[in-house]
Structure formats: structure tokens, C-alpha cells
């Protein structure tokens, strides 16, 4: 089924393998125009109960299924995603506001993650196997997993959770952000007939659905991606019944540029490190520490790139950068820009947006060496604004990069990669890159340190987050 232009779009929740509509709806807004693109079904408390009941009922048979069969079904899910790439990407463009090629890559990423995850093996360790005892430790699924995702990569965020949760033998209730429910609801429809009823449920809702999910006694595990502030609430709620949590939270990633870089070569990489998806990436570069010897040249190149970037409505024309994805985030970004202006920090390009046009557009903005104590340096902007920060002494740069509560990612840019590696080894972050950034791989775990999260996603370590070890010990000798 693909959308027939002119016909109203009807989205349904997926609960127990069935489409569930009816009841209340909520509006989904196109951030490029401010206009409503669709009405999404607003999951009620009773419908959430039904989804959890369906997932619980499906769990024993799914967990007992041969792992080879679960692998096969994950690959079928990937094939179905491939068949619907253009349609799913179109929904992401409309509800999230990113350029179409970025949305297509996001959907392709889901298929890739499902396929690569399908190839992972759950380890089984034989601890002892002799005349006295046979002892083995294996990994068992947890039960019903709640997967809660943010709006910046609605499909991409699901890919880090759905495949590993299912492969490990859990059943899932996926809850996307109310800002971007459509592509996820459509995924529920696309996968509905592939999997046994109740294995994969998709719900969406405005208001309190997130807190209903985390407070629901029927979930054994909450896999959450979102802000640090909400992550704390999720953990507090899960603690009431010791539900397991994985928390992928906010970041304020630093990049350190050494004086021996080729400025023209690194400038485009650094520009996209900060501004891809209009800066709305957890692992985007959010603070750029530049050695004073190359500060002016690099700033000049970045200004040129910012002024060349085409900003606009991604569903109407070819653009490099779409709008900020929703009014709430737009207001956060504008508040940071206002603070910069009021304190007299200099914008090298961009600045406070002018009102009008209906969409939540902010031009790519560079802030010239604001103080370390400023809000734009200390807080996560999650938008198209980048502070450039000058340093002279490397220890000082490292100390400033490591300051603050976040520790998600970081990068170092150096002409000599070995020198870059030495600096990288001193940075506190879940992932540190040298001469690249945001490179993710389905087989490599990533996650945050400090207040950027607990646990990891992707790779074997990400798969193990959806399991618990159980040791089976059999005494063979009687003495």
C-alpha cells in the first residue's frame, strides 16, 4: 500500500498483529510549513494495555522459536523495508523535515541494521564440563521490551532497538515520538503479516503515552533514546519494579582541531559534522575547539560553506538543510541564539531567524569564540548553531572538551593521525573518532558515558542488553 495523493492518509496502531484505529487522533505537523500533514491514532491507556497483553502472550512461543527462524524473519523485515524505502522516506521528510536523500539513507540503515543484527550469535559459555559437573552460562531474553525513540531519526532510532530485541527472543512495543509517529506506524503495517501476532506492536500517542509506557508493570525492559532529562524520569519509573533500562541520552560532543590540519580538506567534514540533519543528531559536533594558528582560516571556510548551504522545504526542492524539526526544539534553539545576541557574542554567519514563512527555519549559525561558561557551550543546542572556540594549549583544549555532564562522542582532527590518537586517548566519551566523525556500524557498540547514558546499542554488546545470563549447573559426581 502506498499513499494515493489526494486521499486522506489513514494510519493505524499495530496491536496483536491487527490494525487498530478509531478513537482519538492527534495532528502531525510538517516543520517546513507548520501545516498538518496527517492525523495519527492517539493510543489510549486501554490500547496500551492490549499491546502489552498481546506482547506477553506472544513471548513464550517467540522465545522458544529456533534462533535460525528469528534470523530469517529479521531478514524478511529488512526486505519489506527495502520494498517500501521511498514511501517510508517520504513520510520521514514530511514529519521530520530532513532532505530526501538523508531520509532514504536513514531507511536503508534500518534494513542494513536488521540484516547485520540477524547474523549475530548469542554466546554460550561452558564453565565446566568434567566428571564432577557440567555448567553452562547462556543468554535468555528478558520478556516484553518497550522501545521509546526521539524525533530526529524516527526510523533510524528504531533500527538500534527492534532487531536486537527480537533476535534475542523478546517481543516489542515500539513507541515513537508524537512529533514523528507516521513512518513508525507505517512500519508496523509493513511488518504486520510477516511476524507472529503480538511479537511487534507499534503505538503512538500525544500527551502522556511515554510515561504510561515506562510506568506499565508489563514491561521487562525499557530501551530509551531521548534527552538526559527524560532519561532520568524513565529510570526513576523503571526502578519501581526494577525493569531493566538502556538509556541513550543527550550529548554535547566536542571536536578538537590540531594546528597541522589541511584547513580546506577538513572544513567540509567539520561543517557536516555539526550541521547534517540541521544539527539534530545526538553525535553531531556541538563544540568546535580550534587551535589559534588555524582558527581564522577555518572560520572563514566554515562561513563560506554555511552561506552556500541551501536551506528550505525538503519536500519542495533540493535542499541541504531542512527546518528545525518541531516548534519546541525551534524555541530551544532560538532561546540559545537570543542569549548569544544579548550577551554580545558575535555571529560569524546566521543568527536569530526572522519570523514568517510558517516553517521553523534557522540558518546555519557560527558563534565566534563565546566564553566557556556561556549557554551555547554548556548546553546541548540540538540545532544548526555551532560555537567555535579558540585554544592555544592542548591540555587546556582537552580539559575544556571533557568538561560538562555529557560524554557521548568526540573527535580529533589532525594532519598526523598518531598525534590525533594521542589526544583522542585523553577524551572522555563513549566513542572518540580521529579524522572522521559519526561513523556507526551495526556490529560496533555505541553509547554514552557520564550523563549521556547507560548501556550501549549495536554489535554484540547491544544485543546482550536485551538478554540476561542464566547459568545451568549439573552435578555429575555424587561426592
Instruction: Tell me the catalytic residues.
Output: 248
Binding of residue 152 to ligand NDP (CB under 6 A): yes
Smaller CB separation from ligand NDP, 15 or 28: 28
Smallest separation, CB 358 to ligand NDP (Å): 22
Q: To the nearest whole angstrom, how small is the minimum distance from the Cβ of residue 129 to ligand NDP?
A: 40
Scanning 5-13, 70-78, 174-182, 193-201 for contacts with ligand NDP by CB under 6 A, the matching segment is 174-182
Reference 51, options 242, 209, 239; nearest CA is 209
Supply the Cα-derived Rg of the chain in whole angstroms. 23
Q: Verify binding: residue 214, ligand NDP, rule CB under 6 A.
A: yes
User: Can you say how many angstroms the Cα of residue 148 is from the centroid of all Cα atoms in its chain?
Assistant: 10
**Cα–Cα distance measured from residue 446 to residue 438, given in angstroms and rounded to the nearest whole number:** 10
Binding region for ligand NDP (CB under 6 A) out of 20-28, 247-255, 259-267, 286-294: 247-255
Of the listed pieces 1-9, 58-66, 67-75, 246-254, which binds ligand NDP according to CB under 6 A?
Answer: 246-254
Q: Quick one: 185 or 303, whose CB is closer to ligand NDP?
A: 185
Residue 234 near ligand NDP by CB under 6 A: yes
Nearest to ligand NDP of 283, 367 (CB atom): 283
Candidates 43, 48, 282, 437; binder of ligand NDP (CB under 6 A) is 282
Which residue in the set 86, 127, 128, 211 belongs to the binding site for ligand NDP (CB under 6 A)? 211
| Stretch near ligand NDP under the rule CB under 6 A, chosen from 25-33, 173-181, 184-192, 413-421 | 173-181
What stretch of H or E contains 247? strand 244-248
The nearest distance, CB 285 to ligand NDP, in angstroms, is: 13
Binding of residue 400 to ligand NDP (CB under 6 A): no
CA–CA distance, 15 with 314 (Å, rounded to integer) = 32
Distance CA 354, CA 334 (A): 10
Choice from 178, 261, 377, 410 touching ligand NDP (CB under 6 A): 178
| Long-range contacts from 436-444, C-beta under 8 angstroms, 24+ separation | 436/269, 436/411, 437/253, 437/255, 437/269, 437/273, 437/283, 437/285, 437/409, 437/411, 438/273, 438/276, 438/281, 438/283, 438/284, 438/409, 440/283, 442/112, 442/113, 442/116, 442/117, 443/116, 443/120
413-452 residues in contact with ligand NDP (CB under 6 A) are 448
Q: How far apart are CA 405 and CA 416, in angstroms?
A: 30
Q: Report which of 311, 288, 310 is spatially closest to residue 298, judged by C-alpha positions.
A: 288
- Sort 69 into a burial class: Cβ within 10 Å, 0-12 / 13-18 / 19+: exposed
- Which residue's CB is nearer to ligand NDP, number 90 or number 150? 150
Judge residue 402's burial from the number of C-beta atoms within 10 Å of its C-beta, 0-12 exposed, 13-18 middle, 19 or more buried: middle
Distance CA 275, CA 273 (A): 6
380 binds ligand NDP (CB under 6 A): yes
Instruction: Give the nearest distance from C-beta 154 to ligand NDP in angstroms.
Output: 9
The nearest distance, CB 201 to ligand NDP, in angstroms, is: 15
What residues make contact with ligand NDP under the rule CB under 6 A? 148-152, 175, 177-179, 210-211, 214, 225-227, 230, 233-234, 248-251, 282, 380, 382, 408, 448, 453
Amino acid at each position: 500500500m502506498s499513499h494515493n495523493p489526494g486521499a486522506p492518509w489513514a494510519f493505524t496502531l499495530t496491536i496483536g498483529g491487527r490494525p487498530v484505529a478509531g478513537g482519538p487522533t492527534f495532528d502531525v505537523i510538517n516543520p517546513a510549513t507548520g501545516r498538518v500533514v496527517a492525523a495519527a491514532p492517539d493510543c489510549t491507556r486501554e490500547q496500551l494495555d492490549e499491546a502489552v497483553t498481546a506482547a506477553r502472550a506472544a513471548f513464550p512461543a517467540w522465545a522458544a522459536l529456533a534462533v535460525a527462524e528469528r534470523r530469517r524473519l529479521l531478514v524478511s523485515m529488512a526486505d519489506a523495508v527495502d520494498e517500501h524505502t521511498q514511501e517510508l522516506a517520504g513520510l520521514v521528510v514530511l514529519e521530520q523535515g530532513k532532505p530526501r536523500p538523508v531520509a532514504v539513507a536513514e531507511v536503508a540503515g534500518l534494513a542494513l541494521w536488521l540484516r547485520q543484527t540477524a547474523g549475530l550469535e548469542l554466546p554460550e559459555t561452558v564453565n565446566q564440563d568434567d566428571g564432577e559437573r557440567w555448567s553452562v552460562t547462556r543468554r535468555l531474553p528478558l520478556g516484553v521490551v518497550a522501545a521509546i525513540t526521539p524525533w530526529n531519526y524516527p526510523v533510524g532510532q528504531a533500527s538500534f532497538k527492534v532487531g536486537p530485541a527480537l533476535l534475542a527472543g523478546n517481543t516489542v512495543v515500539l513507541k515513537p515520538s508524537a512529533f514523528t509517529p507516521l513512518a513508525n506506524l507505517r512500519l508496523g503495517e509493513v511488518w504486520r503479516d510477516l511476524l507472529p501476532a503480538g511479537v511487534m506492536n507499534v503505538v503512538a500517542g500525544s500527551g502522556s503515552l511515554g510515561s504510561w509506557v515506562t510506568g506499565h508493570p508489563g514491561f521487562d525492559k525499557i530501551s530509551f533514546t531521548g534527552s538526559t532529562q527524560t532519561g532520568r524520569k524513565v529510570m526513576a519509573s523503571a526502578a519501581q519494579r526494577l525493569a531493566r533500562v538502556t538509556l541513550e541520552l543527550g550529548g554535547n560532543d566536542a571536536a578538537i582541531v590540531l594546528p597541522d590540519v589541511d584547513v580546506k580538506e577538513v572544513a567540509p567534514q567539520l561543517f557536516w559534522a555539526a550541521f547534517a540533519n540541521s544539527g539534530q543528531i545526538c553525535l553531531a559536533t556541538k563544540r568546535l575547539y580550534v587551535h589559534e594558528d588555524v582558527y581564522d582560516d577555518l572560520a572563514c571556510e566554515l562561513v563560506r560553506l554555511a552561506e552556500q548551504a541551501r536551506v528550505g522545504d525538503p519536500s519542495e526542492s533540493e535542499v541541504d538543510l531542512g527546518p528545525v524539526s518541531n516548534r519546541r526544539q525551534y524555541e530551544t534553539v532560538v532561546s540559545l541564539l537570543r542569549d548569544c545576541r544579548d550577551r554580545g557574542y558575535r555571529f560569524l554567519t546566521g543568527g536569530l531567524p526572522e519570523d514568517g514563512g510558517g516553517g521553523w527555519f534557522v540558518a546555519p549559525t557560527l558563534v565566534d569564540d563565546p566564553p566557556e561558561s556561556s549557554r551555547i557551550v554548556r548546553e546541548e543546542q540540538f540545532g544548526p548553531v555551532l560555537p567555535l572556540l579558540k585554544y592555544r594549549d592542548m591540555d587546556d583544549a582537552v580539559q575544556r572538551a571533557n568538561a560538562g555532564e555529557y560524554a557521548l562522542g568526540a573527535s580529533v582532527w589532525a594532519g598526523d593521525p598518531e598525534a590525533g590518537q594521542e589526544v583522542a586517548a585523553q577524551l572522555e566519551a563513549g566513542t572518540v573518532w580521529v579524522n572522521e566523525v559519526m561513523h556507526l556500524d551495526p556490529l560496533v557498540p555505541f553509547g554514552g558515558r557520564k550523563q549521556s547514558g547507560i548501556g550501549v546499542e549495536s554489535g554484540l554488546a547491544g544485543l546482550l542488553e536485551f538478554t540476561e545470563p542464566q547459568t545451568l549447573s549439573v552435578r555429575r559426581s555424587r561426592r
